[in-house]
Chains A and B, each alone.
Chain A
Amino acid sequence: MKIIAWLIVVVLAVAGLEWHVHSRGYAAGVSDTQAAADRKVAAAESDTALARAERDAANVSLANVQRSLDAQRAQLQVANTIADAALVANATLQDQLTAATAARTAAMRKAAHDSPDCADLARLPVCPAVAERLWGQAADQASPGPHH
């Protein structure tokens, strides 16, 4: 009778131990699976955040390039406008300079004509040697020389 009681105790102990190990192993397996899944989710989220940051940075630099191009285009338009205005002003100024040159020449001739001291200048010829040096043979038919 005593032996049977011991056997029952041993059997119960073994069964209890078995149940305990089994149940604990199952929980551990579940928690391991859960932890692995959590790690994968965390890694995926990190990758996503990184990709988003890279995409945002690329968008920002693209916008910067676009802005720089727009600024350069605007600058070129301004430069073209300034250049056109400057060329128009230059053409006007050239006309004024031509007129001023003619006016100065006329004034010089008038002064020479009006002053008895200068009257001889209108009659005095430039000597051939000097005339040829200054204006070539076209203005010096009197003495065609070997010069060009």
Chain B
Amino acid sequence: MPAYRPLDAVLTAPITEPAAPAANCQYQGKPAVCVLDGLAQIEQWRGKLNQANADRATAAKVTKPPGASDGLE
């Protein structure tokens, strides 16, 4: 019997991708995404990566049997 509980659903739920940027610029008279808004999405994606890594670290902590040495900390 493993002495730890199953992984919490919070840690396994899919992470949604960031929303598409609003079309604040014009291209040939039609709405288009500004380059700056597109570049800002890089930070959004970096935020998602940080979220995923935090969840991974938590999952490792939660599933580690008590008494095992801390390999990461």
A residues in contact (CB < 8 Å) with B:
72, 75-76, 78-80, 82-83, 86-87, 89-91, 93-94, 97-98, 100-101, 104-105, 108-109, 112, 118, 121-128, 131, 134-136, 138-142
Contact = CB atoms under 8 A, between A and B. Distances in A.
A112 B36 contact: yes
B33 A126 contact: yes
A89 B25 contact: no
B35 A82 contact: no
B40 A108 contact: yes
B31 A141 contact: yes
B38 to A, nearest CB: 5
A8 B10 CA distance: 120
Nearest to B38: A126
A75 B3 contact: yes
Given A79-B4, A141-B23, 19 more contacts: A72-B3, A75-B67, A90-B11, A93-B54, A94-B51, A94-B54, A97-B54, A98-B51, A112-B39, A124-B34, A126-B32, A126-B38, A127-B27, A128-B32, A131-B33, A134-B20, A134-B38, A139-B21, A142-B27
A142 B31 contact: yes
Interface residues of B, number: 39
B43 A104 contact: yes
B14 to A, nearest CB: 15
Contact of A122 (B3, B10, B36, B65): B36
Contacts of A127: 27, 32
Contact of A98 (B39, B47, B67): B47
Contacts of A80: 5
B4 A135 contact: no
A4 B44 CA distance: 144
Interface in B28-73: 28, 30-36, 38-40, 43-44, 46-47, 50-51, 54-55, 58, 61-62, 64-67
A124 B62 contact: no
A75 to B, nearest CB: 4
B70 to A, nearest CB: 11
B66 A128 contact: no
